[in-house]
Structure 1
Amino acid sequence: MLYLARMDVTFPADLSAERIAELQAAEKEYSQALQHDGRFAGIWRVVGEYANYSLFDVASNDELHQILSGFPMYAYMKVKVTPLAKHPNSIR
């Protein structure tokens, strides 16, 4: 099943730069592992915002929830998920 997720990140003002750097490093490691195993099918930055659109290819809603809640920065994210279905005009 394909899902498009928009993830917006907002860190609290009192979070230290060191802690943010730690979270960003952990986030990169986690997301790249998911990309390598194929469940995280793509990621695109939203220009001018601390946000992204991500494409996930997973077996179920529950699996997607588990993946999303596993992101190290999840506590600072607002996530909007859109399930996707094949378009009848698609040639792929």
Structure 2
Amino acid sequence: MLFMVEMIVQIPQSLDADLVAKIKLEEKEYSQKLQREGKWRHLWRVVGEYANVSIFDAASNDELHTMLSSLPLFPYMQIKVTPLANHPSSIVQE
């Protein structure tokens, strides 16, 4: 199942800079692992914001929830999930 996931990151300015750097490094490693596994299909930055729009491929809502809630930045994110379906006019069917 494909999902469009919109993420807005809001790290408190009061958070220790070294801790933020550590969390960001862990986030990068985990997100790239999911990309290599084919679970995180697309990742786009939203220009001018600390935000992204992504396409995830998960077997279920529960699998997607587990992936998202395992993101190191998850406690600092606003997340919107939209399930996707094939469009009848698309020449590519997933």
Does 2:87 align with 1:51?
Answer: no
Q: Which amino acid aligns with 2:62?
A: D
Q: Which amino acid aligns with 2:17?
A: A
Deviation, 1:16, is 1.6
- Unpaired segments of 5 or more residues in structure 1? none
State the percentage of identical aligned residues.
55
Does 2:28 align with 1:5?
Answer: no
Determine the C-alpha separation between the residues in 2 that align with 1:70 and 1:42.
Answer: 18
SS at match of 1:3: strand
Deviation, 1:17, is 1.5
Counterpart for residue 41 of structure 1: 41
Q: Which amino acid aligns with 1:3?
A: F
Counterpart for residue 18 of structure 1: 18
Counterpart for residue 32 of structure 1: 32
Aligned residues: 92
SS at match of 2:63: helix
1:38-58, Cα deviation, whole Å (9 max, x unpaired): 011010000000000011011
SS at match of 1:56: strand
SS at match of 2:43: strand
